[in-house]
Every structure is written in structure tokens, then in C-alpha cells.
Amino acid sequence: MKQILVVDLYLNQKHKVNFKKLVVRTKEAGAEVATADYQTLAKLDPLTASCSGMILSGTEALFTRTADRNQFESLIQCLPKIRIPILGICGGHQALAIAHGGSVAKIGRHIQGYRTVELEDKDTLLAGLPARIRVMQSHYEEVKQLPPKFVRIARSEDTDNEAMKHEESPLYGVQFHPERWNQENLAGKKILENFIEKIAL
């Protein structure tokens, strides 16, 4: 069974339930899980090297807020050095974009609830899914400018860059929360399974 390193980007204790949910759902998708937080990730080279892939969680932090952004500087600096496949989720997607030269901007409202996302590229991460999926959203910001060598693979009426991938490396980001799937909306489960089965080493 592949081991996935799930990295906690939540700042406040009251949001840790969201991280625990991601850990549980990653296990349900077929992986063993190791955990770390955004502050210690740069110190975990041996652990990182032993894992098949990495998932960056969401966060309540806002990257357009200087005080929040500053807390993630060590994470942003270390992400380009990591050589295992990465899936960034919501805030993790935004952190991955910033780390590779992209930008994040405010949307102006809270995008929340199950909403429709249009898939533009049935890449490995999105394999086996219909052209339109329903996934859970919860964000105030979005990746405004994709980093160099990244391409958009999904969009929605609310968010232009709902999902991205690197053209050469196994790096992926999704603005939505695939771990918050339910029996009526199973696309998120499929996305986690695809990352673990098809992309992780």
C-alpha cells in the first residue's frame, strides 16, 4: 500500500477537524498516511523521500493577507524542492501555485457548497469522470495567474482555475475539496483514488 504524506496547513485548532477528515478520506481512498504540518515540512527530507506522494490540505488562511502569507514562507520556499508527486487542495492548491511563480487574488465573496466544475482535460487526475462534476467548495480566494509550465485542467463559473497540472512534473492543484465527497457527489473520491493509484509513485 502506498504511503501518502498529508500536510496540515490549518492555522487554528478549531479547523483541525478538516485536516482529520482529509486524513480519513485519504485512507479510505486506499493509502497509508503519514502526517506533518506546514511548519516542519522543510525538515522532513527523509520522511518525504520515503512517501509515494504528498497532499497539501486546505487552510482558513488568506494568502492575500500579509500576516497569513508570512506564516507560509518556509513552506512556499521548500515546495519547489520536493521531488514526489503533490496534490494541493484549496489553500494547498494556492500555496503550490505561489511556490512555483503563480499568483492568488481575492474573489470578493465566499464560494461555498457543492457546485459544478467543468473538466477541460481528462488528465490522469480526472480520469474516469464526466465532463461536469459536483464538488464541495469553500474559498474566498483563487489562483489568478497560473505558474509557468502549469496548465488549467478545470474551471467553473465561480473560479477560472479550478484545477491545474504541471506540464512535465506530477504536480496538481484543485481549488475544491475532493475529500468532502458524499454518496450523491462521488467525484472527489475518484480524484483522490486517481492521485493515489495513478500518480503517486
Which amino acids are annotated catalytic?
90, 177, 179
Distance CA 78, CA 91 (A): 16
Q: What is the 3-state secondary structure (H, E, C) of 6-36?
A: EEECCCCHHHHHHHHHHHHHHHHCCCEEEEE
Q: Which residue reads 512517501 in cell numbers?
A: 51
Residue pair 196/29 in contact (Cβ under 8 Å)? The answer is: yes
Provide CB contacts within 8 A for 24, sequence distance 6+. none
Residue 120: how many other CB atoms lie within 10 Å:
15
- What residue type is assigned to position 72 of the chain? F
**Torsion over CA of 55, 61, 67 and 69, rounded to 10 degrees?**
30
